Structure 1
Amino acid sequence: MNRILERHSNTFALFIALSIITLAVFGFDVDAAVINQHGDLFGAAGLAFAGCGSVGDIHKISEAVDIIENKINKFHDQAEKQLQETGKVSTETKNALEKFQEKQLEIADRLLYLEQKGVSGGGMGGDTPRQSGWGSQIVKNQNLKELLSGSRQKIRVEVQNNTLTGSDTTAAPMRKPGVVAGGFAPLTLESLFPHFPTTEAAIEFTRENVFTNSAAEAAEGAQKAESAITWTLVNQPVSTVAHWLKISKQLAADNQLLAAYVNARLSFGVNRRVETQLAAGDGTGANIGGILKSGNHVVHAYDDATLGSGLKKHKLIRRIIADMKSGGFMPSAVLMNPADWLLFDLDLLDSVPATITAQDIAGGFEPRIFGVPVVESIGVTADSFAVIAPQLGVIHDRQAVEVEISDSDGDNFTKNLLTIRAERRLAFCVEQPAAARGGDLSPV
């Protein structure tokens, strides 16, 4: 039984020695008396600790050491007393000692695991020099040898920090595939008009200019009234909308997703320009003549005084809708910049009494005013608008958006560059200007 007690005492003494080494690691003075007290175990403890590179808080370790020492003394005294009184050690005491032994085996296994995994910086069987862990540096230190031999009373060991910090060298970053796209604003105007293909460079059509309606009742044999219509021949050239940029051949070959994104972005750029031209193009030169171009719509004549007070923008739209119907056109859409449609909602929120409900706010305001759908378009100039009918016009498509890539551009061949060009050809024919009314959304 004494051998059992001696074995367990040695095991726990080993743990105490390990804790003493830990104190030295953090720069605490280690008294020679303590080393001499456990000199037979100190060398083995240092060797076991040689591979360990992770230690806890020093105060917690000190407290743990005190607790272990107290428990060792308690069970040792208890076992000796039982052995003297009854000639044997109780099962409870044996189990407690066995539990402490298992705990110490776990610590030993953990130290061995850390050593094998190379916490101290060693390689996996290669020629890379092995970095020493904290315990190994202490055991090999000359000051420790002098302390064990009795020539020194205290030592302080400085250990090198062999902690690895994360970097692209030690841990490669995760590369996500594809490209994080920028904003693609919705394009809405083209869907309002019918599309027809064309193979020509220009579109000609005859448009009614003025219709004088003189229809009237006539007596039998009397002269009948004569009406008149004047015509205008309109020639609308096909416009080309295009742009380009250059990328390297290496980029196109090495990152095909990025190259595909460039193609998509260029195509979007062409169609966004078409959106703007359909709304506000001035028709000069190669520009498309848009809805708000002079002569392509009827400009309203309402001023601020006519609209009265409160919700003036709403009243203006309502009057325009009525005028459209009086002229024989049923409105199909109200074109407006998104920022202006916001003002309509804010005016309703500020109205007294409020003309909205909690359901309107929770569900979002439906983009509709006086029964007519509101089409928000980035192409419509801010503080302007147009109420349109289906008869307004058509789009003739000469060429859909095409993306072409070539190295035969300037010095591309010698510089290993590629030119990517996106191009579209179309004509927007405003056939009936009276089918659009609009202008300034905030008249004075």
Structure 2
Amino acid sequence: MSAEILKALDNVETKLKAMSDKADGEMKTLGKVADDTKTAIDTIGIEQRELADRLLKLEQERKAAKDDLPKQEDGYGEQFVKDAAFEGFTKADAHGRVRIELKNTVTNAIGNTFSERRPGIVEGAFRLFTIEDLLTKIPTSAPAIDWVRENVFTNAAAETAEGLIKPQSSITFSPGTMPISTVAHWIKITRQLAKDNAALAAYINRRMVYGVNLRVENQLLVGNGVAPNINGLLNAGNFTAHGYTAASLTAAGLTNNRFDLIGAAMGDAALADYPADVVVLNTGDWWKLRLAKDSQGRYLLGDPGSAAVPQLFGSSVVASNAMPAGKVWVGSLSQAATLWIREGVVVEMSDSDENNFQLNLITIRAERRLALTVEKPAAARYGDLVPA
């Protein structure tokens, strides 16, 4: 009976942890814990206390019964000679052999053993997002973003003698529009799973949120801008090509390696009055640079034991799996683009989708709405990391 109570206590603790995780999630997303969540936690707490009381009572009863039994006075010797094995040995034949008839052989078959269960759920990969945090974020309530971008600025400012006509400068502009994109997906689970396995349901919700943000991370770089796609940083027109070839690097007195190319692109950005503060590389390309050594076998970028923030020529390095391999983006990301947040990640559940009500299913949908506008393509340089 105590084993059943212990198992019930384990189940209660699992449910309590799941509801606690749910409450934490509601605090992060809603700013408060829902009433039904509070009620569920209270109910589980009461159930836990009742089971603990029952277990304590059983232990007390068992201890009292054990105290009533007569104490064993036999020493090791007496226990040995009274043992059935010893009695069988004394009945052995003249050669000291014992004959034992086996009625059945018990093997380590399925059903006779019990496996250990790892608590929780073994998670899949979760990428560390790096691009979104670097962008300037502005909330919006509009369905689209309009902006006017400076096209050409002709600066005619000059010293002018008294009484003479001052020079006239000119500026041309070009308009831009970017609709808000919706990034979303959904999945179906059974109502029984949602009610009976809160930990698994919470994990599914977390995975759904991750899926939305993973797609956004990719779109911020490589979205093609064709509705409903996001207009990514690497889309044509959103950057200035660095323009280097192997020959032009050699002509400039540089070798055609990754370090020289990045440095040259950063120098060009600075000459255009957009000093670069970020270098975006594919994760694999970054680690090739990080592991580069000199002729003495020393790492070019410093001791591997150093926990310093990755940098090249004083600018932060951002490694992302969303970045195409063999490419590099260099620029002032805070000036080049703006991320407009229409809605944060929203997770909704419904049993009214298609025939969910008949099949006892629940549809979980996660989505967010946002737009990326690249106002200053001149603030970024992009192209091959090792040009031909």
SS of equivalent to 1:341: helix
Cα distance 1:392–1:135, how it changes in 2: closer, same or farther (>3 A)? farther
Match among 171, 181, 188 for residue 130 of structure 2: 188
Scaled by the length of structure 1, what TM-score is found? 0.63
Would you say 1:373 and 2:316 are equivalent positions? yes
Are the structure 2 counterparts of residues 283 and 135 from structure 1 closer, same or farther at C-alpha, using a change threshold of 3 Å? farther
The separation in 1 between residues aligned to 2:158 and 2:107, in whole angstroms, is 100
Partner SS for 1:413: helix
Contact 1:238–1:398 (CA<8 Å) still a contact in 2? yes
- Residue 116 of structure 2 corresponds to which residue in structure 1? 174
SS in structure 2 at match of 1:319: helix
State whether structure 2 residue 354 is matched by structure 1 residue 434.
Answer: no
Q: In 1, Cα distance between the equivalents of 2:288 and 2:248? A: 20
Which structure 2 residues correspond to residues 107-146 of structure 1 after superposition, within 5 A?
Answer: 107-108=80-81, 111=83
- 1:376-387 aligned at under 5 Å gives the runs 376-387=319-330
Distance 2:285 2:302 in 1: 22
Report how far residue 102 of structure 1 moved: 6.1
Q: CA deviation at 1:363?
A: 3.0
Partners of 2:88 and 2:228 lie apart in 1 by: 81
Q: 1:203 aligns with which of 130, 133, 145?
A: 145
Q: For residues 376-405 of structure 1, what are the alpha-carbon distances to aligned partners after superposition, in whole Å with 9 as ceiling and x for unaligned? A: 112211111211212112111111101111
Give the 3-state SS of the residue equivalent to 2:248 in structure 1: coil
CA contact (8 A) 1:249 1:417 kept: yes
> Distance between the aligned counterparts of 1:155 and 1:394, measured in 2?
89
CA distance in 2, matches of 1:226, 1:402: 52
Equivalent-residue separation in structure 2 for 1:262 and 1:404 (angstroms)? 12
Measured after TM superposition, the shift of residue 358 of structure 1 is 10
Q: How many equivalent residue pairs?
A: 309
Secondary structure class of the residue paired with 1:306: helix
SS at match of 1:324: helix
Query: Aligned residue for 1:323?
Result: 268
Aligned to 1:254: 196
Q: 1:102 to 1:236 in 2, by over 3 A?
A: closer
Structure-1 residue corresponding to 2:244 = 302
In structure 2, do the counterparts of structure 1 residues 437 and 241 end up closer, same or farther at CA, with 3 Å as the change threshold?
same
- The CA deviation at 1:290 is 0.8
Name the SS of the counterpart of 1:414 in structure 2. helix
Computing the radius of gyration from Cα coordinates, the structure with the larger value is 1
Letter in structure 2 aligned against 1:159: L
CA 1:253 to 1:172, structure 2 compared with 1: closer, same or farther past 3 Å?
A: farther
Q: Cα deviations across residues 319-367 of structure 1 (Å, max 9, x unaligned)?
A: 1111111111121111111011012124x22x43556379613336751
- Whole-angstrom CA distance in 1 between matches of 2:227 and 2:347: 24
**TM score, norm. by length of structure 2:** 0.72
Q: Are 2:256 and 2:386, in contact at CA under 8 Å, matched by a contact in 1? A: no
2:304 equivalent to 1:361: yes
SS at match of 2:247: coil
**Aligned-pair CA distance for 1:106:** 3.4
SS at match of 1:339: helix
* Structure 1 residues 199 and 364: alpha-carbon distance in aligned structure 2, compared to 1, 3 A threshold: closer
| 2:349 alignment partner, SS class | strand
Shift of 1:108: 3.4
- Contact 1:292–1:439, Cα closer than 8 Å, also in 2: no
State the shift of 1:421 in Å: 0.7
Structural mapping, 1:46-57, within 5 Å: none
Q: What is aligned with 1:392? A: 336
- Quick one: which of 220, 223, 231 aligns to 2:165? 223
The CA distance in 2 between the partners of 1:236 and 1:418, in whole Å, is 34
With over 3 angstroms needed to count, the CA separation of the structure-2 counterparts of 1:414 and 1:358, relative to structure 1, is closer
Question: How far is 1:155 from its partner?
Answer: 9.5
Instruction: After superposition, give the CA deviation of every residue in 1:123-176 in whole Å (9 maximum; x if it has no partner).
Output: xxxxxxxxxxx969x99xxxx9xx99xxxxx99654234435364x44443333
- Whether contact under 8 Å (2:222, 2:235) holds in the other structure is yes
Residue 288 (structure 1) aligned with residue 288 (structure 2): no
Deviates more, 1:213-222 or 1:389-398: 213-222
Does 1:160 pair with 2:103? yes
Q: Distance in 2 between matches of 1:355 and 1:216?
A: 53
Gaps of 5+ in 2: 1-73
Distance 2:305 2:120 in 1: 36
CA contact (8 A) 2:147 2:175 kept: yes
For the Cα contact (< 8 Å) 2:138–2:339, is it kept in 1? yes
Change (3 A) 1:271 1:323: same
Of 319, 330, 334, 2:279 maps to: 334
Could you report, residue by residue, the CA deviation over 1:85-130 in whole angstroms, capped at 9, with x for unpaired residues? xxxxxxxxxxxxxxxx965423135x36x99xxxxxxxxxxxxxxx
Higher helix share: 1
Letter in 1 for 2:136: P
Read off the aligned partner of 2:275 and give its amino acid letter. Answer: M
Matched letter for residue 79 of structure 2: E
Matched residue, 1:313:
258
3-state SS of 1:362 partner: coil
Q: What is the one-letter code of the residue matched to 2:360?
A: N
Q: 1:195 Cα shift?
A: 1.4
* Structure 1 pair 416–108 and aligned structure 2 pair: CA distance change class (3 A): farther
CA distance in 2, matches of 1:431, 1:354: 44
- CA deviation after TM superposition for structure 1 residue 196, in Å: 1.4
State the alpha-carbon separation in 1 of the partners of residues 108 and 81 from structure 2: 27
| 1:363 counterpart SS class | coil
Q: Return the offset for 1:224.
A: 2.6
Match for 1:386: what amino acid?
Answer: W
Question: 2:368 corresponds to which residue?
Answer: 424
- Mind listing any 5+ residue stretches in structure 1 that lack a counterpart? 1-100, 116-133, 149-153
